[in-house]
């Protein structure tokens, strides 16, 4: 990818030093790490990604971008070592791009620069994350590159950046649909950037032309598999699941009739909550195996019961063609319940989602229940075949050490969230931004707004776990360093001005 001339106005020799340090340290870290952990970490979601890559699927339960990445690497080799190594190298390259961009745009102290460098390149969670056959690290890498492109469009717009940011944005969207709100930032940046109006219009048109083409392609492919044209069936299941987390608390007082199309599903839901059932709530996602999606996955769930009524008792819920057709109905049903009980939704879904965002559950970065276990079903057979695996055994001590290393991260993320909020409020309230030039102010506001936008989007739609926050914890950490740096510099300038 083409990148701007990053730091010719800073210290090119220092940049070369950082680049060389990253190259050497990456090798010194990754090689021993892979000696200790020779196999990739394969979890539940991994099987769906690998299965979609194996079948070359164009639509599935999960976004197809990461599966296409697995398949792309497979053209070179089906080596699991190659896959995770490429993930790691892409991450390091994106971090380097981000680091040099921040260093160019903001006049940070030596201590702040070194802290950012260490956080990016010597952080165990990103090293361990690169060994997962999961979309998180690739999403983080490309999202960071996209954000850098937006920063450079603000600072030094070039014609090619209109294309690169549009392509990056769509690629990110193919990996994780939570990027749904990202185009808003592209439009805002293009509108306020210093370039001719025709280029701004061209950039916006390219952004939506490429993105909408992918959406249209996905809807057509979903229709081929599930018989219904939709963009994401998983979103429909999730919407209904969120509604049921709320509805269990209000169903006794709700006796209003429902639209005809919801009658069977609604009766199943009410009967389920009236009878014996597993008590779950979003304040305690650590106590159930789905970490916030119980009604999507549990056999006893009304949604699963409805599927079995329509598809048969022996319907394979791991087959996408069996679950895809219900996405639109479940989405409509979930939206119907939520709009009927908005305050209850805030109380039983949004508020616990805020808690889980501020104190994220470690999930697969916690106790490794299934990191080294190969499924025996058809998805497990695909994984074994794709990577030519017979086992993924590793010493118990290595697994235990992984858990020990990762155990502080939920608290660390909470601390970073709090520091970000406090320093951001101080920075804005006392107008420390006045010491930044116009482009640096725009860059600061963009980074902060992306974090705030992600918070709002997440708490309205899903419980947050550690891996969903990788990109945004990097931004929050960076913004906190910038804020603290400017606050300290402002205080020092005030002291110097006092006679």
Q: What is the pLDDT along the chain (499 residues), one digit of tens a residue?
A: 444 444 444 566 688 999 999 999 999 999 999 999 999 998 888 988 999 999 999 998 889 999 999 999 999 999 999 999 999 999 999 999 999 999 999 999 999 999 999 999 999 999 999 999 999 999 999 999 999 999 999 999 999 999 999 999 999 999 999 899 999 999 999 999 999 999 999 999 999 999 999 999 999 999 998 888 999 899 999 999 999 999 999 999 998 999 999 999 999 999 999 999 999 999 988 888 788 899 998 999 999 999 999 988 888 777 888 899 999 999 999 999 999 999 999 999 999 999 999 999 998 898 655 566 677 777 788 888 999 887 777 778 888 899 999 999 999 999 999 999 999 999 999 988 888 899 999 999 999 999 999 999 999 998 899 999 999 999 999 999 999 999 998 766 655 554 5
Q: What are phi and psi of 214, to 5 degrees?
A: -65, -45
How high is the pLDDT of residue 498?
Answer: 46
Q: Is-contact 238 244, C-beta < 8 A?
A: no
How high is the pLDDT of residue 56?
Answer: 94
Q: Is-contact 120 95, C-beta < 8 A?
A: yes
According to DSSP, the residues that pair with 132 across neighbouring strands are 41
How high is the pLDDT of residue 435?
Answer: 83
Q: Quick one: tokens of 257?
A: 């009739």
Q: Quick one: tokens of 108?
A: 């940070």
How high is the pLDDT of residue 368?
Answer: 57
How high is the pLDDT of residue 261?
Answer: 95
Torsional sign, CA 34, 39, 40, 43: negative
State the residue for tokens 């010491």.
435
CA distance 36 to 32: 6
How high is the pLDDT of residue 317?
Answer: 78
How high is the pLDDT of residue 4?
Answer: 47
Secondary-structure breakdown of the chain: helix, strand, coil percentages, each rounded to the nearest 5: 75, 0, 25
């Amino acid at each position: 990818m083409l990148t701007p001339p990053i730091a010719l106005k800073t210290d090119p020799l220092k940049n070369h030093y950082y680049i060389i340090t990253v190259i050497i340290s990456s090798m010194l870290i990754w090689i021993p790490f892979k000696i200790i952990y020779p196999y990739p970490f394969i979890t539940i979601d991994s099987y769906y990604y690998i299965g979609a890559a194996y079948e070359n699927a164009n639509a599935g339960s999960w976004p197809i971008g990461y599966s296409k990445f697995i398949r792309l690497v497979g053209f070179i080799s089906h080596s699991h070592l190659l896959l995770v190594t490429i993930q790691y190298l892409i991450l390091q390259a994106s971090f380097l791009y981000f680091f040099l961009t921040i260093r160019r745009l903001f006049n940070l102290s030596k201590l702040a620069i070194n802290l950012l460098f260490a956080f990016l390149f010597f952080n165990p969670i990103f090293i361990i994350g690169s060994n997962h056959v999961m979309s998180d690290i690739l999403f983080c890498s490309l999202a960071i590159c996209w954000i850098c492109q937006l920063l450079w469009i603000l600072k030094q717009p070039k014609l090619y950046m209109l294309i690169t940011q549009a392509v990056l944005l769509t690629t990110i969207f193919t990996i994780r649909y939570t990027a749904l709100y990202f185009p808003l930032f592209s439009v805002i940046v293009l509108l306020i950037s210093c370039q001719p109006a025709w280029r701004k219009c061209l950039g916006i048109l390219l952004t939506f032309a490429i993105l909408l083409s992918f959406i249209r392609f996905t809807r057509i492919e979903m229709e081929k598999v599930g018989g219904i044209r939709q963009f994401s069936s998983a979103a429909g299941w999730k919407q209904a699941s969120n509604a049921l987390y709320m509805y269990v608390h209000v169903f006794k007082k709700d006796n209003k009739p429902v639209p005809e199309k919801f009658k069977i599903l609604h009766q199943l839901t009410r009967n389920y909550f009236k009878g014996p059932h597993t008590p779950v709530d979003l304040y305690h996602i650590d106590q159930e195996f789905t970490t916030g999606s119980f009604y999507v996955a549990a056999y006893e769930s009304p949604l699963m019961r409805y599927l079995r009524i329509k598809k048969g008792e022996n319907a394979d819920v791991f087959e996408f063609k069996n679950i895809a057709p219900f996405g639109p109905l479940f989405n409509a049903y979930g939206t119907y319940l939520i709009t009927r009980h908005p305050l209850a939704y805030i109380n039983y879904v949004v508020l616990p989602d805020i808690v889980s965002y501020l104190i994220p559950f470690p999930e697969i970065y916690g106790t490794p229940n299934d990191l080294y276990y190969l499924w025996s079903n058809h998805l497990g057979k695909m994984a074994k075949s794709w990577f030519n695996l017979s086992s993924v055994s590793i010493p118990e001590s290595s697994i235990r050490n992984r858990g020990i290393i990762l155990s502080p991260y939920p608290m660390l993320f909470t601390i970073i969230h709090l520091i970000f909020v406090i320093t951001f409020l101080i920075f804005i309230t006392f107008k420390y931004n006045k010491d930044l030039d116009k482009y640096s102010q725009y860059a600061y506001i963009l980074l902060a707004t992306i974090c705030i936008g992600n918070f709002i989007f997440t708490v309205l739609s899903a419980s947050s776990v550690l891996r969903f926050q990788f990109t945004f914890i990097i931004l929050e950490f960076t913004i906190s360093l910038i804020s603290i740096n400017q606050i300290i510099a402002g205080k020092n300038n005030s002291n110097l001005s006092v006679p």
